[in-house]
Chain A
Amino acid sequence: MTTATVRHQAGHVELIIDGRLVASVPWEQAQQLHRVIHAQAKRAEEWAKAEQIARDQAMLIRAGANIGLTSHPLIQAEAKKVAEWNRQLRRAMPGIKSEEQFGAPSLRQTGPKLQA
């Protein structure tokens, strides 16, 4: 099993794997690397949890809450699709009550046609 250790040595940050020094970077670069790795890790997590995020976003859409959980266009598109077409979700969350108005139609029936 691989063991990794991160430590600092004077003004450098060192990465040691299995007892061997594999990287030694100045502290400024180490902080920059940290930010990049953190950002990429968040994006990777978003992709790994895309299905759950899409479902949660779909619920917010049906609830009429204009809150975005992701800026990823593919996940947004999937959320929109789920909100519109998932039958269980549509049944559980019928949506915002419609405000349309109807006229008052009337039906008129004539007597049956007589056979000649």
Chain B
Amino acid sequence: MANALYDAGREGFLGGTIDWDTQDIRIILIDAADYTKNLGTDDFLDDIAGAARVATSDALASKTITAGVADAADKTWSSVSGDVSEEIVGYYHTGTESTSALIFNIDTATGLPVTPNGGDITVTWDSGANKIFKL
């Protein structure tokens, strides 16, 4: 497919329930063998099976929203082991899976799929015009 926003993410931005640069946004390394995404109906983190979550980050830092462009500091998952991972999912972390809204899904990136070897995995966001994504 292609990198895309979840409907829930776009609704969150328009409805004012997701505030990119002030709220706790996290990313998850996903094993697509255990998760068949549906951008229109998957809305919260509880739509992604635990088995599909290979590694979950802490909060993204240095987030910005200038001109509708979402950006953040590069992120590292430490000492990652587990299944081959094909996707990255970004979500708004509330602490409760049933209210943590899914925001974006990246399945096309240099280095994907990645086979964890126990070392760190760092995602470097694009430094061009679109950064992570542009609304």
9 contacts between A and B (CB under 8 A): A94-B7, A102-B3, A102-B104, A103-B131, A104-B109, A105-B125, A108-B122, A110-B119, A111-B117
A82-116 CB mask vs B (1 if < 8 Å, else 0) is: 00100100110011001011111111111111000
* A107-B114 contact given A95-B7, A112-B119, CB 8 Å threshold: yes
A30-58 CB mask vs B (1 if < 8 Å, else 0) is: 00000000000000000000000000000
Using CB atoms and an 8 Å cutoff, list the residues of chain A in contact with chain B.
Answer: 84, 87, 90-91, 94-95, 98, 100-113
B110 touches A101 (CB 8 A): no
What's the nearest-Cβ distance from chain A to residue B102, in Å? 13
A113 touches B119 (CB 8 A): yes
A90 touches B40 (CB 8 A): yes
Question: Which one of B2, B5, B40, B110 lies within 8 Å of A107 (CB-CB)?
Answer: B110
B16 at the interface (CB under 8 A from A): no
What's the nearest-Cβ distance from chain A to residue B116, in Å? 8
Question: Which one of B109, B119, B130 lies within 8 Å of A101 (CB-CB)?
Answer: B130
How many chain B residues touch A (CB < 8 A): the figure is 42
Interface positions of B from 82 to 135, Cβ below 8 Å from A: 88, 104, 106, 108-112, 114, 116-135
B20-56 CB mask vs A (1 if < 8 Å, else 0) is: 0000000000000000001111000000000000000
A104 touches B126 (CB 8 A): yes
B79 at the interface (CB under 8 A from A): yes
CB closest chain-A residue, reference B15: A84
A100 touches B4 (CB 8 A): yes
B58 at the interface (CB under 8 A from A): no
Question: Which one of A90, A91, A98, A108 lies within 8 Å of B111 (CB-CB)?
Answer: A108
CB closest chain-A residue, reference B79: A113
